[in-house]
Chain A
């Protein structure tokens, strides 16, 4: 198999309410910038980041999603075919944590255990105003099969770890898939044929017309 020499492409959706700092996190990670003057010239809705982990080349495509309540119903359109999700809340804002729980439920319902989740409590530079307790958040993350992180985009703390952990888990999930599916070489181009499955699946081919 040539899978080791291929670049793995992963789609990661970024979820979080307006003021939790999700944009700061992703800009800090991809551009290493925070609150600078020329930040306004950057666009943070779609970003790519190239990584190399243990000799494997990885290309992360980070899809920002509109976090306002009015756009909540559109979530599933964004999640389609995602490999990972980063859910951001503000440790000083209980509501933003409740919102994360809502998204987790939806993601699990739609994509099952296939999707790797990271829950991120941002703004630890404001620790004194914390309203979401550490153990509660961590216990919750564990109960839904997610990994919990604390970050501060302002102080550039913990951000690298979030993306590294998520990428490693997505790689592991991809390898698992390759092993179980046998023929699937990690690339979504390949077609998996399951012989003992009588259900006809539409393959995205033009057969229907």
Chain B
């Protein structure tokens, strides 16, 4: 009953409850989005994950997980947003189960979720997390499978927020080089109409330049 009321109220009042313009959350949304964008060079190896993306099944599950988490912002009720995250996390676990010879524990699950989050770079991430925390029954967030997965989502965001070189099995020098080159590139891409598209594939950057 409480859940139904919660859903009804949050959906009807969505535009008042969710993310006001120029709010702190909105600023944080843009910051996280930009930060994740600058981390597109991160590979599975940096996170010490042994996932073989050549495997069709693995690749399919990875893109499904990315889709699920990207859908979060378009759901209205906190419960539905939460369920997008749960579906994403379950898919991540299925993906790991295909690759792994041992059981899937948090030591592999969290880095895999971080990877999915980086590749998905969902919009309004901060707003969604805050909205779920503010308008979901606290009991649901601290217990149950959905609560566990939501906690992992928060962990993944916190990790990306504070990411340093030593957490990626690389030297500070390498890290800064990657990071600064990418920030510069992103800036260039924004300002230069000639660069049509910028792709990051592992550590290779592909620029498509259109001559106008």
Residues on A lying within 8 angstroms of B by beta carbon are 9, 11, 18, 22-23, 27, 39-46, 61, 63-68, 70-71, 73-74, 77-78, 80-81, 188-189, 204, 206, 208-209
Q: A73-B162, A74-B158, A204-B138 are in contact. Are A61 and B106 (CB under 8 A)?
A: no
Judge if B93 is at the interface, Cβ distance under 8 Å.
yes
Closest 9 CB pairs of A and B: A64-B106, A70-B167, A66-B110, A23-B105, A46-B148, A81-B142, A74-B155, A44-B105, A66-B106
A46, closest chain B residue (CB)? B148
1/0 contact trace for B27-67 toward A, CB 8 Å? 00000000000000000000010000000000000000000
Q: Are A40 and B100 in contact (CB under 8 A)?
A: yes
Our pick among B109, B135, B139, B162 for the contact of A45 (Cβ within 8 Å) is B109
Q: Are A63 and B148 in contact (CB under 8 A)?
A: yes
Sort chain B's interface into a size bin: 35 or more
Q: Are B111 and A43 in contact (CB under 8 A)?
A: no
Q: Are A27 and B107 in contact (CB under 8 A)?
A: no
Interface core residue of B139, B145, B152 (most chain A CB under 10 Å): B152
Q: Are A61 and B109 in contact (CB under 8 A)?
A: no
Q: How far is the CA of A44 from the CA of B107 in the complex (A)?
A: 10
B146, closest chain A residue (CB)? A46
Having A66-B155, A204-B138, one finds 11 other A-B pairs with CB under 8 Å, namely A40-B103, A42-B104, A43-B105, A66-B111, A67-B107, A74-B110, A77-B158, A80-B142, A188-B138, A188-B139, A206-B17
Our pick among B17, B97, B151 for the contact of A78 (Cβ within 8 Å) is B151
**30 pairs from A and B in contact (CB 8 Å cutoff):** A11-B142, A22-B105, A23-B102, A42-B104, A43-B104, A43-B105, A44-B103, A45-B104, A45-B105, A45-B148, A45-B152, A46-B149, A63-B151, A64-B106, A66-B106, A66-B109, A68-B48, A68-B107, A70-B166, A71-B159, A73-B158, A74-B155, A74-B159, A77-B154, A77-B155, A78-B151, A80-B151, A189-B139, A206-B17, A206-B135
Least CB distance from B41 to A in Å reads: 18
Main secondary structure on chain B at its contact with chain A? Answer: helix
Q: A23-B103, A40-B100, A78-B151 are in contact. Are A45 and B159 (CB under 8 A)?
A: no
Residues on B lying within 8 angstroms of A by beta carbon are 17, 48, 93, 97, 100-107, 109-111, 134-135, 138-139, 142-145, 148-149, 151-152, 154-155, 158-159, 162, 166-168
Q: Which residues of A contact B144 (CB under 8 A)?
A: 61
Q: How far is the CA of A67 from the CA of B111 in the complex (A)?
A: 11
Q: Which residues of B contact A27 (CB under 8 A)?
A: 103
Q: How far is the CA of A61 from the CA of B106 in the complex (A)?
A: 14
Q: A45-B93, A209-B134 are in contact. Are A39 and B158 (CB under 8 A)?
A: no
Least CB distance from B45 to A in Å reads: 14
Least CB distance from B149 to A in Å reads: 8
Q: Which residues of B contact A80 (CB under 8 A)?
A: 142, 151
A63, closest chain B residue (CB)? B148
Least CB distance from A189 to B in Å reads: 6
Our pick among B17, B105, B149 for the contact of A209 (Cβ within 8 Å) is B17
B156, closest chain A residue (CB)? A74
Q: Are B145 and A40 in contact (CB under 8 A)?
A: no
